[in-house]
């Protein structure tokens, strides 16, 4: 549930922490959601950029901070973890007095990039394979720490210009075994009558599958949601969509398994995704016409080969 936008602090406002006395200078608003407003800031006297989230509710924000703290401390004890928590994400927690009110905030790493759906729209569907892979790696990392992401949706997946993936908004992160704290209809397994709202790895994989379907066939997904009444809504509608849509075809076997909760865990799902996108028939691209540049490259290689052969035999 998103609240209407609230007045934001203008650029140049200095936010001084009450407990640590650090000063952060606001540059601009990065975004706003149900739990708070996020600013791009730099520390006074330094140039490095950070993201600073001011919470609307002390308890909700603290709960989010607790999750981040616990993720960070746990990843310190786990080696070989591929994920964002080796380099700290949460940098400072403090309060400041703004407009006569105590406002809690935390400072985190600034994630540059665009939400995944914007990225894919701009850069093309052939990026789904690799960004999907990196997102799955992030999720697997979280799962290994004993948490699920929960509120997986395109707005919470940032992709850099070169396809690096980062998760933002840890407000939905829930301990495995507990109820899912925050979710969004489309991506919620419960909404599709496809399972519980308890946190398990399959919950994130389900949301991931819906996200992939959205990236590749948003119209189809919208139509499926609009037609169905809640009591008849179920994952067979998603399965139909997966079967029907040519653009989903390369990912169909994987998506089916995720929607039906058939992966034993995210590690297996990750391995299967890799296998699928690197399978020779697909090699990172949906089947269809071979793109021009590839034909050209191929033509070029044939010429080179011809030349080489010629060179060997007729020299």
Partner 1 sequence: MKQILLITDGCSNVGASPVMAAAHALQEGITVNVAGVIDYGTIGELGSLEITEIAKAGGGVSHIVGTRQLAQTMQMMTRKTVVQTIQQAVNKELKTILGDGSLEELPPQQRSQVVQVVDELTETTPLQVALLIDASASMKPKLAAVEDAIRDLMLSLQAREGRSELAVFHFPGRNSTEDAVMDTDWIQDLGGVRNLFQRIQMKGATPTGPAILKVIDFFRYGTLDGQTWRGNDGEGEGMLGDYVV
| Of the residues 2, 48, 219, 229, which one makes contact with partner 1 according to CB under 8 A | 229
Candidate segments 24-32, 168-176, 291-299, 305-313, binder of Mg ion by CB under 5 A: 168-176
CB of residue 27 to ligand ATP, shortest distance in Å: 12
Percentage helix, strand, coil for the chain under 3-state DSSP, each rounded to 5: 45, 20, 35
| Of the residues 12, 45, 59, 219, which one makes contact with partner 1 according to CB under 8 A | 59
Among partner 1, ligand ATP, Mg ion, none, partner that 168 touches (CB below 5 to 8 angstroms by kind):
ligand ATP
Among partner 1, ligand ATP, Mg ion, none, partner that 155 touches (CB below 5 to 8 angstroms by kind):
ligand ATP
Q: Is 171 in the site for Mg ion (CB under 5 A)?
A: yes
Q: Is 69 in the site for partner 1 (CB under 8 A)?
A: yes
Nearer to ligand ATP, 40 or 241 (CB): 40
CB of residue 226 to ligand ATP, shortest distance in Å: 22
Among ligand ATP, Mg ion, partner 1, none, partner that 196 touches (CB below 5 to 8 angstroms by kind):
partner 1
| Of the residues 76, 178, 222, 244, which one makes contact with partner 1 according to CB under 8 A | 178
When CB distances to ligand ATP are compared, the closest residue is 33
Active site residue 151: yes
Pick from 278, 312, 276, 283: nearest CA to 297: 283
Among ligand ATP, partner 1, Mg ion, none, partner that 65 touches (CB below 5 to 8 angstroms by kind):
partner 1
Residues constituting the chain:
315
CB of residue 214 to ligand ATP, shortest distance in Å: 16
- SS3 per-residue string spanning the chain: CCCCCCCCCCCCCEEECCCCCCEEEEEEEEEECCCEEEEEEEECCCCCEEEEEEECCHHHHHHHHHHHHHHHHHHHCCCCCCCCCCCCCEEEEEEEEECCEEEEEEEEECCCCEEHHHHHHHHCHHHHHHHHHHHHHHHHHHHHCCEECCCCCHHHEEECCCCCEEECCHHHCEECCCECCCCCHHHCCCCCCCCCCECCHHHHHHHHHHHHHHHHCHHHHHHHHHHCCCCCCCHHHHHHHHHHCHHHHHHHHHHHHHHCCCCCCHHHHHHHHHHHHCCCCCCCCCCCCCCHHHHHHHHHHHHHHHHHHHHHHHC
| Count of residues of this chain found to bind Mg ion when the rule CB under 5 A is applied | 3
Q: Rounded to the nearest 5 degrees, what angle is found at the Cα of 1, between the Cα atoms of 163 and 139?
A: 35
Options 60, 94, 95, 151, the catalytic residue: 151
In whole angstroms, how far apart are CA 209 and each of 6, 181, 203, 253, 300? 33, 20, 10, 11, 38
| Of the residues 24, 25, 26, 35, which one makes contact with Mg ion according to CB under 5 A | 35
| Of the residues 109, 118, 134, 197, which one makes contact with partner 1 according to CB under 8 A | 197
Name residues contacting partner 1, limited to 81-100 (CB under 8 A): 93-95
CB of residue 28 to ligand ATP, shortest distance in Å: 11
| Of the residues 102, 126, 218, 262, which one makes contact with partner 1 according to CB under 8 A | 102
Nearer to partner 1, 110 or 191 (CB): 191
The residues annotated as belonging to the active site are 151
Contacts with partner 1 by CB under 8 A lie at 1, 19, 58-59, 62-63, 65-66, 69, 93-95, 102, 104, 177-180, 185, 190-191, 196-199, 229-231
């Amino acid at each position: 549930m998103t609240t209407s936008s609230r007045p934001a602090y203008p650029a140049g406002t200095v936010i001084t922490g009450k407990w640590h006395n650090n000063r952060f200078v606001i540059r601009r608003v990065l975004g706003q959601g149900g739990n708070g407003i996020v600013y791009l800031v730099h520390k006074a006297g330094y140039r490095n950029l950070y993201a600073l989230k001011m919470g609307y509710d002390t308890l909700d924000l603290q709960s989010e901070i607790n999750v981040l703290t616990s993720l960070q401390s746990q990843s310190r004890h786990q080696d070989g973890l591929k994920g964002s928590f080796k380099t700290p994400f949460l940098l400072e927690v403090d309060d400041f007095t703004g407009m006569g009110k105590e406002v809690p905030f935390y400072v985190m790493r600034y994630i540059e990039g665009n939400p995944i759906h914007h990225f894919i729209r701009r850069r093309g569907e052939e990026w789904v394979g690799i960004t999907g892979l990196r997102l799955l790696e992030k999720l697997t990392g979280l799962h290994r720490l004993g948490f699920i992401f929960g509120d997986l949706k395109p707005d919470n997946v940032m992709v850099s210009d070169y396809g690096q993936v980062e998760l933002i908004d840890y407000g939905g992160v829930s301990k495995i075994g507990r109820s899912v704290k925050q979710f969004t209809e489309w991506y919620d397994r419960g909404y599709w009558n496809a399972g519980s709202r308890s946190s398990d790895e399959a919950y994130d994989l389900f949301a991931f599958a819906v996200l992939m379907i959205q990236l590749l066939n948003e119209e189809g997904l919208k139509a499926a949601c609009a037609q169905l009444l809640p009591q008849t809504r179920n994952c067979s509608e998603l399965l139909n969509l997966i079967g029907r849509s040519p653009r989903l075809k390369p990912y169909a076997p994987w998506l089916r398994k995720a929607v039906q909760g058939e992966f034993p865990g995210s590690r297996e799902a990750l391995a299967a995704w890799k296998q699928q996108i690197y399978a020779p028939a697909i090699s990172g691209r949906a089947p269809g016409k071979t793109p021009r540049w590839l034909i050209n490259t191929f033509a070029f290689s044939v010429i080179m080969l011809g030349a080489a052969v010629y060179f060997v035999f007729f020299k």
